[in-house]
Amino acid sequence: MYLSRLRMSEIRGFHGRRAIDLPFVRPDGTFAGWTVIAGRNGSGKTSLLRAIALTLAGDRVAENLAPDYPNWRSSEMSKGAIRASFRMDDEESAALFPEFSAAPPAEPEEHGYVGIFYPSGPGRVEEQPSFRIFGPLGSQSLVEQPAAAAEVTVPRFAFPLTRNTFGAGYGPYRRLSRTIADRRNPTETQEHASRFATLFDEDAPLAEGVAWMVGLHLRRLEGDNAAAHVLDTVEELLGDGLLPDGCTVEKVNSSGLWVRRGQQSFPLAEMSDGYRTVTALVLDLVRHLFSHYGELRVAREDGRVALRTPGIVLIDEIDAHLHVSWQQRIGDWLKRHFPRVQFIVTTHSPYICQAADPAGLIRLPGPDEDAPAEVVEDALYRRVVYGTGDDAVLSDLFGLDSPYSPRAERLRRDLVALEERVLSGEASRAEVETYENLSRTLNSSLSARVDEVSARLGGDR
């Protein structure tokens, strides 16, 4: 199941012309891949991810994750709404409902939806989820309906969207606890809430993935072949180029995960934040996929292990703690190893954007802009994905006026002014010397040199 469209109005900062109406479908009709949401601080990136998370979590889990979500309306006098449309891909639809899979849904992008509707005036939010499959017999609701929908006469089946759709959400603080978690037999609500915990609580750690691997390790020692197969798959996945600088996840034992660099081994818990947060994220995702589906659905693609389980994964500030070289390749790594997952991430990094799939760059306007969020046009998409980091940050997606520091900008303006005098023969000996010193100090790159020449030519006009 994938998010195909999100509509949101009068919720937090998304009101009036800033209301959300975003499609999440690729030009080829698919949904899996890398979708990046970019915007200035305060533009609402985290709020948007949290709104999607609530539609995936359901009302009981939502109250656990965000007790204040009934107060998300922009004002008490406005009617707020969050409506998320969902669609299965062909493989999922045929597997779950072969008798209905041949018929199209009522809307091109929708098999069903979850809506959270906020009445105007004081009062609690009413959540009214509805999931429909459109087959030869017409519209069939597959979610338990509220009492107000009792007059609906189509057949209804106990198939809650939030229980059968895999979703997970991660906040910017994806900490790997230094202790191994020991939570036994969580309730369904607790297990579901744990998928989104860090997106709503920055103090929530990601520790249970390591505990899960330790448990698999102990079961493997006891001769459990199924546990051994799962653990071997996870170890192969984590060791397939996830970590930079020649580091690999080497093994798991009763103490936790170990990373090898050259001839030395280190506990993962003692590695830098980047190593710990990325490993914790991937491990937590694999654990939840296994818990949800009961299997990992392993496939080999180009000689690499890949998990072919569908789902929706939200990651806030995916670039946090990552060196720019790692930012540049983390998106492609996740897409390659989770090819049926729809990743929706936020970032301040142009290098994260370079992995975006077609129709997968979304710009949120700044807090002072009275404009809606939008999927960027194809020309801007190509500039960001196929251009340099400078191309991206200077584009409308990021809105940076210059890639240079304020001090460098002042010196470059001085250089341009002096260059005009040097080329015209009007410069004094002292000005020529200053010009030469500035040229050496700034040590222009090719792109910077183009900027300087353009500035001079612009001054001539």
Secondary structure element (H or E) that encloses residue 169, with its range: strand 167-170
CA distances from 25 to 6, 32, 85, 122, 347 (A): 11, 9, 11, 36, 20
Task: Give the tokens for residue 191.
Answer: 């297990």
Query: What DSSP string describes 348-384?
Result: S-HHHHTTPPTT-EEEPPPTT-----EEPPHHHHHHH
Spatial separation of the C-alpha atoms in residues 453 and 18, rounded to whole Å: 39
Structure tokens at 196: 């989104």
Treating both helix axes as pointing N-terminal to C-terminal, what angle do 273-293 and 324-337 enclose, rounded to 10 degrees? 10
Task: Please name the helix (run of DSSP H) or strand (run of DSSP E) that holds residue 283, with its range, or none.
Answer: helix 273-293
Rg (CA), the chain: 26
DSSP H or E stretch at residue 4: strand 2-9
CA distance linking residue 174 with residue 186, whole number of Å: 21
For 313-405, where are the alpha helices, taking DSSP H only?
324-337, 350-353, 378-386, 389-393
Predicted local confidence at residue 139, as pLDDT? 38
The tens-digit pLDDT sequence of the chain (461 residues) is 899 999 999 998 899 999 999 999 999 989 999 999 999 888 999 999 999 999 888 777 888 888 888 788 887 767 888 888 888 877 777 766 666 555 555 455 577 788 888 877 665 444 443 333 332 223 333 333 443 433 333 333 334 455 668 999 999 988 776 555 555 566 777 788 889 999 999 888 887 788 889 999 999 999 999 999 999 999 999 999 999 888 988 889 888 889 998 889 988 888 888 888 899 999 999 999 999 999 999 998 778 899 999 999 999 999 998 999 899 999 999 999 999 999 999 999 999 999 999 999 999 998 888 999 999 999 999 999 998 887 887 777 887 777 777 888 888 888 888 888 888 888 898 988 888 888 888 765 545 555 655 555 555 44
- Class of 2-166+310-376 in CATH: alpha beta
pTM exceeds 0.85, yes or no: no
SS3 344: strand
**Residue 152 confidence (pLDDT):** 35
pLDDT for the residue 108: 54
Distance CA 31, CA 23 (A): 10
CA–CA separation, 186 vs 176, rounded Å?
Answer: 20
Task: Write out the residue limits of the CATH 3.40.50.300 domain(s) in the chain.
Answer: 2-166+310-376
SS3 336: helix
